[in-house]
Amino acid sequence: MKAAKKMTGQKTDKAVTLGRWGLYPDKNTDLVVDYSNEDHCGTCAQYAQTKQKPDDVIKKNVEKWYRRVLLWHSIMWSILTVATLLSSAFACNTTDVLRSTQSECDVVNYLKHAGFPSNTIDTMVCISKYESSFNCDATNKNVDQSTDYGLFQINSYYWCSGDPESKYDECNASCSSLFDCQRNTNCAYRVWREQGYNAWYGYKNHKSTCDNYHTNC
């Protein structure tokens, strides 16, 4: 046929696309691509299962976004919980410090109940200020491994019992009991009666200040 057409001068026909490849050659390129993919990947049923519809894509994106929101919510909740716990712990510690820290007038009352003469009160308040900053829970470890306790920093070697370095227990009190402000002041009264103000470095190092100290209570 081709030979005959050549001899007659007629043009040969274009190659004919067979089967479904000839369907809508100029109208639907996407359809051709889909058919090609189907031939490469499997039957129509298999391809239909793997081919995602636009609604499926939207649904998956929404699910992915929702999972991310849940993850961030969980992370933020965990951070908030930890922050709350830390804040509570800090608040408790701060409260304990505030409770153990006394005012000048509190110390004046302890001194009066312990029996200190009125003309010694101001100086003893000054000593407490420089020894412990009015903190009944204050402690200090000395180079000889003894410990100073409480409001007036009573030394464990001479004045209390129960500490590894305790020896004399002159106040007849356990060292742990000296965290009680009044008991500590009672022991300080005995220290003062035996050794005077010079028993405390807070006085020796600030003698001029403590000799002229005045409370407003």
Per-residue pLDDT tens digits for 174-216:
999 999 999 999 999 999 999 999 999 999 999 999 999 999 9
Catalytic residue at 148? yes
* Band of pLDDT at residue 89, cut at 50, 70 and 90: low
Q: Tokens standing for 29?
A: 């390129």
Catalytic residue at 38? no
Share of the chain above pLDDT 90, in %: 51
Total Cβ atoms within 10 A of residue 217: 14
- Of 183, 83, 201, 79, whose CA–CA distance to 140 is shortest? 201
Q: Which of 30, 104, 131, 165 is catalytic?
A: 131
Flag whether 136 is in a domain.
yes
Q: Which of 96, 137, 148, 165 is catalytic?
A: 148
Flag whether 32 is in a domain.
no
Residue 126 has pLDDT above 60, yes or no: yes
Mean pLDDT, residues 23-41 taken together: 60
Identify the pLDDT of residue 29: 61
Residue 44 has pLDDT above 80, yes or no: no
Report how many domains make up the chain.
1
Per-residue pLDDT tens digits for 48-61:
555 555 566 677 77
* Band of pLDDT at residue 86, cut at 50, 70 and 90: confident
173 φ/ψ sector (left φ>0, alpha ψ -120 to 50, else beta): beta
* Band of pLDDT at residue 97, cut at 50, 70 and 90: very low
Flag whether 73 is in a domain.
no
Identify the pLDDT of residue 133: 96
| Torsion (CA) 41, 44, 50, 52 in degrees, nearest 10 | 130
Identify the pLDDT of residue 42: 58
Identify the pLDDT of residue 92: 40
* Band of pLDDT at residue 37, cut at 50, 70 and 90: low
Angstrom distance (rounded) from CA 137 to CA 127: 16
- Write out the residue range of the structural domain in which residue 118 sits: 104-211
Mean predicted lDDT score pLDDT of the chain: 80
- Of 152, 139, 138, whose CA–CA distance to 186 is shortest? 152
Flag whether 156 is in a domain.
yes
Flag whether 151 is in a domain.
yes
CATH of the domain at 125: 1.10.530.10
* Band of pLDDT at residue 103, cut at 50, 70 and 90: very high
Flag whether 35 is in a domain.
no
* Band of pLDDT at residue 3, cut at 50, 70 and 90: very low
Flag whether 146 is in a domain.
yes
What residues are paired with 147 via a beta bridge?
A: 141
Flag whether 4 is in a domain.
no
